[in-house]
Amino acid sequence: MTDSDKRYEVVIRWLFAFVALAGIATIAGLIMLWPDGEGQKQIEENAEEIGLVAELLSATVEEVQDSVCSYSFSGESELCRNVIITVNEGPEAGSLVALPEVNTSFDHTFPELSAGENVIVGYHEDINTYYYEDRDRRSSLWWLALLFAALVICLARIRGLLALFAMAGTVLVLIGFVAPSVLDGNNPLLVCVVAAASIAFFSLYFTHGLTVMTTVALAGTLIALGFTLGISWIFFELANFSGFSSEESLVLPLISESLDLRGLLLGGTILAALGALDDVTVTQAATVLELSAQNSEMSATQLVRSGLKIGREHIASTVNTLLLAYVGSSIPLLLLFAVSDQSLGLVANSELISIEIVRTLCGSIGLVAALPLTTFLAAFLVSGKRKKSSIDNLDNQG
């Protein structure tokens, strides 16, 4: 066995040892942090006591009429919107119910409903009261999901079908593990890190198969994720975020005083970074493998150079994608800041905006770190495997 063969074998062993240890740690974390429901049950009771919990039911609008509000006096009359619905679910299914009148002069968020439209209403059982919650748009969401699934399967075929199952697995981890575990009182940062690792293992191996290149992409993802966690932790501490930047963060302490909002914020940043990280690492590993398949004469150095050249273009577009993904969801907020006549520095200094800046930059740093790491590792393994195969063939011929 030559020196290059020995190096190849050593790297392979270390690679699989690292991934195996990470897998064991992830399983151990899932076992230790798996929710038992006790903490969540108490929080649900707290939420119900302060009126945050209500039963949501589907209903159909039967009649909509604008008339003088019932509380208007002889002075200036005000118009209120009165809506009559048929409840489709719950203890009074099939019954006609009049929703509380809404003064549209003050409540501009109440929509212009029409007869026959499906809506979602809230129901307070203790006082037997219904109220408008939202339009029922579930059917359009299902059609969109079916369209998305059909396009993915038509283009990627079996790989696309596996990717859809991996996406479903990710949703199950978030809903079945992350939220209940955090509500049970576990450290939200640790829960999100374990969830991110489990999602990476499941989605990569399930979608791309148990191969060396998938393991390379997984190793690059996990290392870059750890680096992203470290640098995000540092700058979250330096920025001294309070965690009370959104309406949801103001409500959560009312139902759970022990909830670590800053840890929840940092954990969410790690989960958000994972989506872009596995994209970069899988793409780089696949790129190096394809370059080697197209030209078996390319050396490890040439594979690295070509892989990085392609990867730079990917990184440039992905970084901008991260920025637009964070900013795109905050356009109304940006408009409010635009009319506030504040400098760009003061706008960026606000916690709500600075959190997105830190998330974007820390996630981008993780992406940049993942690019050369995955490319170097993939190029070394591909070239080493190729050399080993050539030597084995010569030995067999001899």
More confident: 29 or 345: 29
Q: What is the pLDDT of residue 380?
A: 81
Q: pLDDT tens-digit profile of 184-243? A: 888 999 999 999 999 999 999 998 888 888 899 999 999 999 999 999 999 988 888 877
225, 272 contact by CB (below 8 A): no
183, 40 contact by CB (below 8 A): yes
Q: What is the pLDDT of residue 394?
A: 33
212, 382 contact by CB (below 8 A): no
164 sits in the region (left: phi over 0; alpha: psi -120 to 50; else beta) called alpha
Domains of the chain, first to last = 3-35+139-340+347-393 (no CATH), 54-136 (2.40.50)
For strands 118-124 and 129-135, give the pairing: antiparallel
194, 33 contact by CB (below 8 A): yes
> CA 210 to CA 47: how far, in whole Å?
44
351, 242 contact by CB (below 8 A): yes
* Residue % of the chain over a pLDDT of 70: 84
User: Does residue 13 surpass a pLDDT of 80?
Assistant: yes
Q: pLDDT tens-digit profile of 73-118? A: 655 677 888 999 999 988 888 899 999 888 877 877 888 889 999 9
> CA 352 to CA 243: how far, in whole Å?
9
Give the tokens for residue 92: 């009074």
* pLDDT band at 396; cut points 50, 70, 90: very low
Angle formed at CA 310 by CA 304 and CA 313, multiple of 5 degrees: 135
Residue 282 CB partners (closer than 8 Å, separation 6+): 204, 208, 214, 217
For strands 102-103 and 118-124, give the pairing: unpaired
* pLDDT band at 147; cut points 50, 70, 90: very high
212, 381 contact by CB (below 8 A): yes
* pLDDT band at 392; cut points 50, 70, 90: very low
Q: pLDDT tens-digit profile of 25-40? A: 999 999 999 988 776 7
Largest CA distance in the chain: 109
For strands 79-87 and 96-98, give the pairing: antiparallel
393 sits in the region (left: phi over 0; alpha: psi -120 to 50; else beta) called alpha
> CA 67 to CA 7: how far, in whole Å?
83
